[in-house]
Chain A
Amino acid sequence: MLQKKICMLGGFAVGKTSLVRRFVQSIFSENYLTTVGVKIDKKSVVFPDKTVDLILWDLAGEDDIGSFRVSYVRGATGLVLVVDGTRPATLAVALTLRERCEAEFGAMPFILLFNKSDLTDRWAISDGEIDELKQRGWQIYLTSALSGEHVDDAFRQLASMVAK
């Protein structure tokens, strides 16, 4: 049994919960999100030589960065940073959250998702900007929780990164 704790990080309504819902069938009610502030799901990702169980922690209400419970990230091996591609300001939010986690627990692997790629007419992130981030060697995906585009690929990539 090889498991890895993964935290979903990103601003309010960027689609964290929707992405998890798209990637995995839940057993816990989403009520936990509002009551306990976190919902946990599991997804097994199968590789030829091993199977990794991703334990996904979806945290609620990170809109206000100040109220973010860093303690929930303790013990995590990887992060999924989610940005709403129609709201450029959420990129800064995601990056700030990552900085806070790294300050507390050190660097860890992450993927950066620009979500809601189906909303092409309201898309507000330029290709140049994304290329620039890619230059830093970051793993970046344009996802849509609505259509499912690239969602599996992204999580698979993260699974292979944390399983090393």
Chain B
Amino acid sequence: MVEIARNVDPDNHALYEGVPAADHRLERLRQLLVGGEISELSRVTHLLDEPEQLATAVGNVLPEATARASHTQLGEALAPAVERAAQRSIQKNPNTLTDILYPVFLPAIRKSIGEKIDQTFQSLNESLRHIFTWHGLKWRFEAWRTGTSFSAVVLKHSLIYRVEHVFLISRASGLLIAHVTSQDATSEDPQLISSMLSAIQDFVKDSFKEKENSGLDTIRFGELRLWSEVGQFATLVAVIRGNPPEELHEVIRDVLLRIHQESSRALERFDGDSSQLPGVETQLQTCVELQHMDSKEGFPWLVVTAVLLALIVAGGWYFLSWQSAHRWQAYLSRLAAQPGIVVSDQKIRGGDFYVAGLRDPLAADPQSLLPGTDVDPARVHSNWQFYQSFEPQFVLKRLSASLAPPDSVRLSVVDGRIVAEGEATTTWINRARAAAQQLSAGGPVFDISRVRDVSAEDRWQAYVSRLQTQPGIIVADQNVRDGQFYITGLRDPLAADPQSLLAETQVDPARVHASWQFYQSLEPQFVLKRLTASLTPPDSVRLSVVNDRIVAAGEATTAWINRARAAAQQLSAGGPVFDISGVRDVSPEERWQAYVSRLETQPGIIVAQQNVRDGQFYITGLRDPLAVDPQSLLSGTQVDPARVHASWQFYQSLEPAFVLKRLTASLYPMDKVRLSIVNGRIVAEGEAPDTWIDRARAAARQLSEGGPEFDISKVRDVSPDARAAEHWQYYVSRLEAQPGIIVAQQSARGGQFYISGLRDPLAADPQALLSGTQVDPARVHSQWQFYQSLDPKFVVKRLTASLSPPKSVRLSIVQGRIVIVGEAPAGWISRAQAAADQLSADGVVLDVSQLSELNLAELNQLREAIQTTDIYFSSGRVVPGPEQTPVLDRLADQLKEFAENARKAGVTARFMLTGHSDITGRETANASISAARAETVRALLNKRGVAPELLQVRGAGTFEPAVPENENSPTGNSTNRRVSVTVNLE
């Protein structure tokens, strides 16, 4: 029982101390009495301890529990959590909540704005209440009639505007969903406008970091305003002319909201097919119907006029309608009488008049016929199509416009035909003929037969007068009949051919009928011609016309003089005088002597001997092959060649002219050398290569024996330049063959050489390539721009410089690709990969697939050894005792080895020396001691050959003890007075 009690209440445990602790019978009893409860208890405990099970259990009852809980308490309890949840959600993505709330808050906002406006109206209402004006009355009436407040009417009338376009634009794609315009508004392509608008909105949003949904809501261009309302899936843009009231925003928003409510799914899924959103246009239509145009009426007149009008309208309606119909008929018959106007249809409907038909653009304007008919132009709706009337007077007008007849032509209508009369040029007549041809298909006849072609006649007259001035041509008669030309007359066979003169005049030869008779003109120049032809005077006789007489002068043989005399005799009967008294009779001997003396004056011909024996002529002498041929000089001398016996020997004349010719033939002077004779000397000037100069010099030497002087001192030896140019070309081609060098331009001018181009910094130095080319570096002007060659060889060079590959990798070029093979640390491999990515944009392949990560095991061991080394110090000392020297020696060796191995692997090792102190003394002192210890060790390691830039120092003070300090120890822990080393790889 005690045990039971103890189990039921542990406090009893203390009370009944003396009871044995374990009695199996009691255990049995307990099982019997409360066994069920115990197992139930443990199940519940388990349930409470296991979070998952507990959650399931609570979850089952939570909805029920919430429903039953006291509402105020539950609300208070949940409020903070819900607020936090909402905050989180907004921070994460504001759109989620916006999308959820959108349908809710828009009407809410609308409502509150509406209330605000109502309030404004109310106060306006107050102030306007007592104003009693015509407008006031009118507006009050309107307010009563429409059931709106008076102030709304007042406001409405002071705002004048019109919504001209409404665009509904998909927010996702900027595509136009629907577009409506007011009746007479125009615009460019609405699809493009909508896309551009949305692009501009995107742009503004991006550029000014505007928040989502707050795009451009108003833009203004002069008279036009763009108002946009952004909805969940679509934006509505209204283009408004004038001065819209603020409430219009609300109306537009309303329309947008309605569209969203009705077609939200279709809007969300809009993919450019507007047939999926059929009802939208009608919705938008309500927007463009929004407008208000207030007319500027004056107060009393309006009333009076209105009343009068009303009376008139009421009283005279039937009369008026009858009268207007009557007037309309009058107008119509007037129209019908107009040439060039064809009325095809007309009717009167609802007091309006409709007329349709055809009109010639040249006919009277139907509109202009209205005044005077008392028909109200505003009620006339006409539909005219243009056509071309064939009525003669229209055709006449059109012809006058298109043919532009000259003043000398008159067009008129005669019996329904169009007749042209007068004079015109051929071209105009041809055009008129073409027009007549065209008209023949259905139009009136266009008769141009009475137009005289003046141009042909003018030309004919010009031809005739030209003939009349021709010597040897006598025009007897000419006339023009029926476009044909007739001419008769006389012509000398030696005169110009009338036919050939015709060819130059553009007179149609087929229309010319000429009849010419030959005659011998006795005009002196014709006689002269005939005499020249019949007498064939020798070269030494000249015939000419002097004062209408024909005069012969000169020298001739007796035989010729006799024939001339006979001719003169003949002419004496009616012809001009032929005077031969001026011709001297010369004997054959005289003529021979004249020939010989002519030969003697010839350069290059030397007459040695000549004589005349038995009517035969003998001559001997020398002649230069380059001199004139004596034989050819005979002709024209009237010496009979058959009686001449000549014997010539060739020789070389040393006369400068001949020498010059010979030199020209033998030396082939270059283009740039000019030979000339100056004061009996032959002078060469210009430029030539040395080989030519050598040959010229030899010729000059030859000539020096008896010949004229040959002066070549003025020829400049250009060979050095030529040779330099050759060398330069060689240098240029050498450069061009260099990889990594691109020659853009090169030239040689005035002995200087210019070159420009691109070079890779890694390519050979162009300057260095000069050596050995014999090009004078002082005359070379080069301009090189650096560029990076994509030649794999250069890329390899660059990579080698920039990546500094570890020894364990090899770069090579395989079929134009760069391949890296070997082992490298991960950091280096990723740099190589980055380089490969960059190069691929330039089209160069860098293959890093054969790189594998370097095995760092060996390094790791060394690192371990280094990091476990500590340098110890005596209390308060910053210099380690002598017993630390071997430790420092070994550490220095290890650091150097590690640094070297790391470098080989392509990484940089850095060692951090951290100084520490024990906790005795002030903390500030400890901090500086610890730093000083690290500095000392750095200096000591440096002395042992470790590069200082690899060693970094810091003081840790007492903060990083190696072993926990005993607060009570007066000396502090010597293990903590140390410098430790850590290794970092970069």
Interface residues in chain A, defined as those with a beta carbon under 8 Å from any beta carbon in chain B:
1-5, 27-28, 32, 36-38, 40-42, 53, 55, 57, 69, 71-72, 74-77, 88-89, 92-93, 124
Contact = CB atoms under 8 A, between A and B. Distances in A.
Contact of A75 (B170, B188, B189, B840): B170
B864 interface: no
B195 interface: yes
Given A27-B192, A42-B192, A55-B175, A77 B841 contact: no
A28 B196 CA distance: 9
B213 to A, nearest CB: 14
Interface in B686-713: none
Q: Which 4 A-B pairs have the closest CB atoms?
A: A75-B173, A75-B172, A3-B272, A1-B274
A3 B191 contact: yes
Contacts of A40: 192, 195-196, 199
Contacts of B176: 1, 3
B271 A53 contact: no
A76 B188 contact: no
Contacts of A32: 196
Kindly name the residue among B170, B189, B196 whose own CB sees the greatest number of chain A CB atoms within 10 A. Answer: B196
B280 to A, nearest CB: 12
Given A3-B175, A38-B199, A71-B202, 5 more contacts: A1-B176, A3-B191, A27-B188, A57-B195, A77-B271
Nearest to B203: A36
B175 A5 contact: yes
Interface in B470-495: none
Interface in B196-240: 196, 199-200, 202-203, 206
A88 B844 CA distance: 10
Contacts of A41: 192
Given A5-B195, A40-B195, A72 B202 contact: yes
Given A27-B189, A41-B192, A88 B843 contact: yes
Nearest to B172: A75
A5 B196 CA distance: 12
A89 B192 CA distance: 33
A57 B191 contact: no
A40 B271 CA distance: 18
B340 interface: no
Contacts of B170: 75
Given A5-B175, A5-B272, A75-B173, A55 B203 contact: no
Contacts of B843: 88-89, 124
B239 to A, nearest CB: 17
A158 to B, nearest CB: 13
B198 to A, nearest CB: 9
B840 A92 contact: yes
Residues of A contacting B: mostly: mixed
B174 interface: yes
Interface in B830-853: 840-843
A76 B173 contact: yes
Contacts of A72: 199, 202
A4 B272 contact: yes
A72 B274 CA distance: 21
B275 interface: yes
A92 B840 CA distance: 8
B273 interface: yes
A4 B174 CA distance: 10
A124 B840 CA distance: 15
B206 A69 contact: yes
A41 B174 CA distance: 13
B175 A2 contact: no
Contacts of A5: 173-175, 195, 272
Interface in B246-290: 271-275
A77 B272 contact: yes
Given A27-B188, A36-B203, A55 B274 contact: no
A75 B174 contact: yes
Contacts of A92: 840-841
Nearest to A91: B843
Nearest to A105: B172
Contact of A28 (B171, B173, B192, B841): B192
Nearest to A44: B191
A55 B199 CA distance: 12
B272 A2 contact: yes
Given A2-B272, A75-B172, A89 B842 contact: yes
Contacts of A2: 272-275
A125 to B, nearest CB: 11
B840 to A, nearest CB: 6
B275 A1 contact: yes
Contacts of A1: 176, 191, 273-275
A119 to B, nearest CB: 16
A71 B210 CA distance: 14
Contacts of B196: 28, 32, 40
A34 to B, nearest CB: 12
B191 A42 contact: yes
A99 to B, nearest CB: 14
A42 to B, nearest CB: 5
A8 B176 CA distance: 19
A89 B769 CA distance: 34
Contacts of A77: 173, 271-272
A13 B174 CA distance: 26
Kindly name the residue among B170, B188, B195, B202 whose own CB sees the greatest number of chain A CB atoms within 10 A. Answer: B195
Contact of B175 (A27, A28, A75, A93): A75
Contacts of B199: 36, 38, 40, 57, 72
Contacts of B840: 89, 92
A112 B960 CA distance: 63
Interface string B413-454: 000000000000000000000000000000000000000000
